[in-house]
Chains A and B, each alone.
Chain A
Amino acid sequence: LEGNLTPRSFLLLLISITLGSFGQICLKAGMMTSAAGVKTDEFARQTHSMVGTFLGILRTMGHPFVILGLSLYVISTLTWLLLLSKVRLSVAYPMISISYVFVVILSSLLLRGENVAWGWAIPGLLLISGGVSIIGFGLGRMAQGKPSGGKS
């Protein structure tokens, strides 16, 4: 069947998810550094405006972690677009859920102050992954012309 997962596209997928997840970790680490965080808040408070907040964010974007995170984000998005041109959406969608699990595990391991409440996070991630996968499954049925409720 056209658009199935091949070893090559699976590798591409893992690369995209890994880069994207580490990108998020870098962004968070950059935004967390006290200097960046405090500056944003102070600046916003001083100006009391959207513009102030926006300028504060622009200033934090100079932080090396934020620059690294944004670059990883862009590369990961391009890899994802590449993947979408090779693989059916019904296959790609369930794979997205890997990234939610990945990011939560990585943040608990690498970031300070995340204290993941696993008792809530595990059922939450399972439900989200299930939901995303079912939407993907529905896309697959539509592509094959077999929507739910139909008799074909």
Chain B
Amino acid sequence: MHQSLTASSFLLICIFVTLASVGQIFIKKSVSGGSLTRDTLGETLKNILCTFKHPYAIIGFGLYVVSTFVWLLVLSKVKLSVAYPMMSLSYFLVVILSATVLREKVDKKCAIIGLLLISAGVSCIGFGMGR
């Protein structure tokens, strides 16, 4: 089976990353506060399951499920050792959406350097694919 990284499979990876990142933002919006807990594992798990009732959480997990379908499609076309590191492109949207939609304070310098390093890394992985 030929498993090269074509433009269309890269687009699929981008669609996956977008769905997963937007899903992540919805889930974050549904969990209030997000403070660290000292509860037992059982209690924490119960809290996590309780958040599923929130409408934003349902949208978020819905997007996750759709993104999983897209990911399976990606895996049917691209090598795992290439596709998986490219998941790190999700940091782009997560960082940008956290700052704009969630109005979280973002350390700009660190975010820019980090995102540049990630894109350089993903490019390396992509180049390696062409060999």
Contact = CB atoms under 8 A, between A and B. Distances in A.
Nearest to B104: A142
B37 A86 contact: yes
B126 to A, nearest CB: 8
B76 A60 contact: yes
A36 interface: yes
A107 to B, nearest CB: 4
A138 B121 CA distance: 19
B85 A100 contact: yes
A120 B128 contact: yes
B107 A147 contact: yes
Contacts of A7: none
Main secondary structure of the interface of A (DSSP, over half): helix
B80 interface: yes
Contacts of A130: 114, 117, 121
B72 A57 contact: yes
Interface residues of B, number: 50
Contacts, number: 173
B56 interface: no
Contacts of A87: 36
A31 B83 CA distance: 13
B114 A132 contact: yes
B85 A82 contact: no
B119 to A, nearest CB: 8
Given A87-B36, A114-B81, A142-B105, 16 more contacts: A27-B72, A31-B75, A34-B1, A57-B69, A57-B76, A61-B72, A107-B80, A117-B129, A120-B127, A120-B129, A125-B85, A130-B121, A131-B91, A131-B113, A131-B114, A133-B114
Interface of B: 1, 3, 36-37, 39, 41, 44-45, 47-48, 68-69, 71-73, 75-76, 79-81, 84-85, 87-88, 91, 95, 105-111, 113-125, 127-129, 131
